A and B are shown apart, each in its own frame.
Chain A
């Protein structure tokens, strides 16, 4: 006879709220008349993500001593809760942008999928064994596959969905196979138990185990779009509807990075000499490939996609050192990064709608003067990405590099600094396109004619992102304290 586990319902309240909202939005697709469907679904999604923020903040406050719940399948601790807050906040922004920017067909289903993906990520960051890890990964991935292809009248969107599906499945398969090998070697699926088993049975350096770890690294590398597992990123980011891209570039990375650090610290402390170097290598590859490839991009979405690869590299520096300082640096970096990544894609969405065609550095010309708020926000994001002191990205970079130095990896500091230098060129290129084209080279003809749509919600979302990005520079102290408490849940 199987005994059902005792369930700490509160620990999964964020997930339940999001799933509930997702269900309601899905019902709306059937029950609410077409005319009101967009408003209804967007409201439900907005309330759902806001509710998610509330419950995860509550969980953060109430989970000072982290522990596992539900048959040891899920972590209730501050690391999970803080990651959930960041995820729900980016989702809230995505809802605001999507409400104005996702085409009318299947709008309610879209929001239901968004909430489902978010719930999956919220579960993913708290996963405590290989089974929940894989299930939640598939859970949010499948939702994202569909979201990428939701605008299926456009070839690019369909292609993005398919590409993400094929390559994403490859990543999932790698993760699953790796998990199987680890299970085969240790006979355990719980993260903590794996570490115990490795320690007890002297599996240190076991071939099966190491191979399994390597495949898990690869599988998670796909999700965080770090090089060399990044090939899908530019194409998918370019083809997917821009609000979806905004969500993927921020939320998916948050989820993947946060979980990765937990898995490797908890399950494979004995193999740290392997995975720290593996992640350092991946970080360097991401920094090099992301930055150099971004230099030659003309399409802004592709440019930002490569920039997100390079930032995965920066965050992996914090992750790879595997110290408390590195964990804190990673958690802190995620806050301004997700705000800036989300915000910059949201701005691209506004321009895209205005022009009715893909945004390139050429047709971005003059945008800064035409729509001053979005322009200013964009240059804040670009300079912030480049690590200039216009936002928390500056402190984030300083933090991860400090963590690398403290770990004794001065060479990684140097790589980070050089990568920043290269990145400067294309970030400045975007600012140049926004503001500095001479009037005669502006061949801007919005196809819709007349003034651009007002897009109140999009402005609100960009304002939110701007506030978080600049605010994280001012409020470094409190944010670091939050990150420190969160990182205290991990076994450094």
Chain B
């Protein structure tokens, strides 16, 4: 097996493991252990790829191609660019943490649960490595299947409505994208992303963008978000906002911008406008949200807006910043939602009105929430700040007022994040916070500390990603060449 095969292994190993878990009558403990083991193997395989990755050479790395539907020129083509490598890394690490969380809290019906989580891992990695439009679409859709069931079965009281809303919203976008894919692929004579031509069609561009804007989500396509993020089990919300939402912004970068240079330019300002509205509006909503998860949910929507702003600014710095921000925010969001889950387990609620004073006697919880929260509000020196700074610098190069809007959002971020921290940790003790609510247990610490440690590492060395995301570190040029 060569290292190029690892790309396929990263996709299919978890799916095979999911099938094994569904078929083998393992005990609850064995099922959970197997799932955690597989998710850790994924992380290991990814590290192996990252070590061997050639960040300087251009072109697709670790690629594999086999014909799939010959007469329509569809192929099974997978491979990684530097930025896809980072997103794959984010996926496997986040999924490992979330699967670990599911094991720790002892989810009901473990075989179904862990099988679906592993399936989700494989599908999401598949999205980030597909280099064929139909394959990309297949994985993009495949992510929804486990999500629907994970939310619908293990979610909160309003889970059924939330899951169906999520699916109908995102499938609307996806199906419009399918029509666009058919038109694009048949016109181009190939569905290959890495070797195919670009298109001038504005309609097709909008078809793709609808799907990505719904996934990210951008204003006004976020109707599914509050319900889904509140009703899903915390670790699924973590995946949804930390990883799945990134599939939307990744799609903008990989397909919408590269394959449609002219339409992306034409609609660039409008989309930046939408992104800016998303950023400000979601920040305000986050400030108004009455509960932990609601605040974090809207904050991740705000970050989606910020990332889209960076992507469509079309400048080197902004591209670097957007990729860095995707990874950094992914880690932040996973940590925050997992912590939200841990708080909810102790107090049975996420309502700020019923929480408060949790810092006293719970130093680990307080430290971790504080650290993640501070990184999240983009305090100078943090990974999120680095990403945000690059994005703002890039959008400043486009026009100064974009940077003003973005900078304003930093202030809003500080407002909602500090409100969240103080509502949970400080203030008077909430009515649901009893003395019996213990500090984080070793298992929980083991899940969150690595994520926070990664965030601190990225804060110390953001260039690890921002200088290693595009061949030769010249993003705009690489994008013009469609990453060839």
Contact = CB atoms under 8 A, between A and B. Distances in A.
B148 A431 contact: yes
Given A421-B171, A421-B172, A477 B183 contact: no
A277 interface: no
B392 interface: no
Q: For this complex, into which size category does the number of interface residues on chain B fall?
A: 35 or more
B16 interface: no
A402 interface: yes
Contacts of B178: 398, 401, 417
Interface string A370-397: 0010001001000100001110001100
B164 A476 contact: no
B168 A436 contact: no
B4 interface: no
A492 interface: no
A406 B189 CA distance: 11
B68 interface: yes
A420 B175 contact: yes
B328 interface: no
Interface in A156-171: none
Nearest to A413: B179
B456 interface: no
Contacts of A395: 69
A413 B203 CA distance: 14
Nearest to B176: A417
Contacts of B171: 421, 424
Interface stretch (B136-144, B283-291, B369-377, B425-433): B136-144
Contacts of A383: 145
B166 to A, nearest CB: 11
A172 B43 CA distance: 63
A405 interface: yes
Contacts of A369: 109
Contacts of B175: 417-418, 420-421
A425 interface: yes
Nearest to B70: A477
B418 interface: no
Interface in B135-176: 137-139, 141-142, 144-145, 148-149, 152-153, 159-160, 163-164, 167-168, 171-172, 175-176
Contacts of B183: 405, 410, 413
Contacts of B179: 401, 413-414, 417
A435 interface: yes
A415 B323 CA distance: 37
A480 interface: yes
Contact of A436 (B71, B141, B159): B159
A413 B152 contact: no
B152 A436 contact: yes
Given A417-B178, A421-B175, A402 B167 contact: no
B182 A436 contact: no
A103 to B, nearest CB: 34
B307 interface: no
Contacts of A389: 137-139, 141-142
A328 B164 contact: no
Nearest to A376: B22
A302 interface: no
A406 B186 contact: yes
Contacts of B109: 369
A37 interface: no
Interface string A419-458: 0110011001001100110000000000000000000000
Contact of A476 (B69, B168, B172): B69
A78 interface: no
B20 to A, nearest CB: 14
B72 interface: yes
B163 to A, nearest CB: 8
B67 interface: yes
B400 to A, nearest CB: 42
A395 B185 CA distance: 14
Contacts of A376: 22
A372 B115 CA distance: 13
A101 interface: no
Contacts of A379: 149
B134 interface: yes
B141 A328 contact: no
A372 B137 CA distance: 28
Contact of B145 (A390, A406, A425, A477): A390
A480 B67 CA distance: 12
Contact of A477 (B67, B160, B163): B67
Given A376-B22, A420-B175, A424-B168, A432 B70 contact: no
Contacts of B112: 372
B149 A431 contact: yes
Interface of B: 22, 67-72, 109, 112, 134, 137-139, 141-142, 144-145, 148-149, 152-153, 159-160, 163-164, 167-168, 171-172, 175-176, 178-179, 182-183, 185-186
26 contacts: A369-B109, A372-B22, A389-B137, A389-B141, A389-B142, A390-B142, A398-B178, A398-B182, A399-B69, A399-B72, A401-B179, A402-B185, A405-B182, A405-B183, A405-B186, A410-B183, A413-B179, A421-B168, A421-B175, A424-B168, A425-B164, A425-B168, A435-B153, A477-B68, A477-B69, A484-B71
Q: Kindly list the 5 A-B residue pairs having the minimum CB-CB distance in the complex, ordered from nearest.
A: A389-B138, A436-B152, A417-B175, A417-B179, A389-B142
